Amino acid sequence: MKKKYNWPVTILLILGLVTILFPLYITVVIAFKQPSEMGNTLSSILSLPKSWSFSNFAQAMKVTDFWHTLLNSILITGVTVILSVLLHSMAGYAIGRMKKRHKWFNRAYFYIVSGMFVPFAILMMPLVKETADLHIANIVGVIICYLVFFMPINVMLYSGYLTNIPEALEEAAKVDGGSTWSTYWTIIFPIMKPMHATVAILTALSTWNDVMTPLVIMSGSGANTLPLAQLTFQTQFGTNYNLAFASYLLALLPMLIFYIFAQKQILNGVVNGAVK
C-alpha cells in the first residue's frame, strides 16, 4: 500500500527550507571568495570560490577588533538575558497573579504592555539626553535600556504562562508555612523553565543583533559591539562584501550555539511539564 503524501505541506516545507538555505549559501560562498572573484552577474555571485581561503575571516577579525567587540556583545547580551529572566519573571508573576484581584495590577499590566507600541525613533533623542545626564552613556546604560525595552513582551509572556500553573500549588505551599518569596523561588520559578528558555532566546537574539541602541548611546565611548564594528565595512564609496559576510558568519556562531543549547532546554521543559 502506497503512502499518501501531504503534497501542499511538503511543498511549503521545501519552500521554507530553500528560503533558509539559499541566503546561508550566498553568505558562505561570498565569505570565502576573494574580491577579484566578485562580479555583477548572478552566476559570478552563485559560483563557488576558486580556492577556499580563511584570509577574509582573519582580516575581518582584525578590522573589527573581533575579540574585544565579541566580549562587549557577550557581556551586554549575557547580563541582559540573566536580569530579564530574574526581574521580568518576578514582575510577570506579581502582575499575573494579582491583576484579577486588584484593578491596580490590571492597569499596571496594560500600561507596561502598551510599551510595545512605542516606536524606537521617538525614544532616540530622550535616551541620548538622559543617559548623558545620568553618566550611563556606556555598556551599563545599554543594558538598562534593554531591560526596559524587553519588559512589555516578557511580562506579557510570563503572566500568560502563569494561567497554566494552578494556584493550588502556591496555596499548598502557604499551608506548609512557605512565604510568597520562598514559594516563588522553590515552586513557581522552576516550573516556568520553558518560558525562561523562550524569553532567553528572544531577548538574546534581539540584543545580539541590535545596532541602533548601542549606536545612539555608546557612540563616542570607545566601546563597540559586533554589529557596530561591522558598520565599518560599509562606506560612502562602497561595501566590502567579502569581509562583511565573513564577519557575519563569525558573529552568527555564538548565537547558533546558544540557540541549539536553549532549544534543548525548551523541549526538556515541555516534556517535564507534560509528565507533571
Tell me, what CATH number does 264's domain have?
1.10.3720.10
100 and 171, same domain (yes or no)? yes
Q: Judge if 104 and 156 occupy the same domain.
A: yes
19 shares its domain with 74: no
Residues 252, 222 within the same domain: yes
The reported pLDDT for the residue numbered 276 is 45
State the number of CA atoms in the 13 A half-sphere of 243 facing the CB. 18
pLDDT recorded at residue 275: 44
In terms of domains, do 109 and 24 share one? no
> Is residue 73 assigned to a domain?
yes
Name the residue among 233, 227, 230, 199 with its Cα closest to residue 214: 227
Contact 99, 210 (CB under 8 A): no
Query: What is the separation of C-alpha 217 from the centre of its chain, rounded to a whole number of angstroms?
Result: 19
Could you tell me which of 27, 80, 44 has the C-alpha nearest to residue 246?
27
Output b/e per residue, 99-129; b: 16+ Cβ within 10 A.
beeeeebeebbeebbeeeeeeeeebeeebee
Determine the structural domain holding residue 37 and report its residue range. 7-52
The domain total for the chain is 2
Q: What is the pLDDT of residue 1?
A: 57
Which residue ranges in the chain fall short of pLDDT 70?
1-3, 236-238, 263-276
Whether 144 is in a domain gets the answer yes
Residue 14 to residue 16: CA distance in whole angstroms: 5
| Same-domain check for residues 27 and 140 | no
Residues 33 and 134 in one domain: no
On whether the CB atoms of residues 146 and 80 are closer than 8 A, the answer is yes
Q: C-alpha 136: how far from its chain's center?
A: 22
pLDDT at 76: 95
Torsions phi, psi for 114 (to 5 deg): -65, -15
Assess if residue 27 is contained within a domain.
Answer: yes
Give just the sign of the alpha carbon dihedral 26, 28, 29, 34: positive
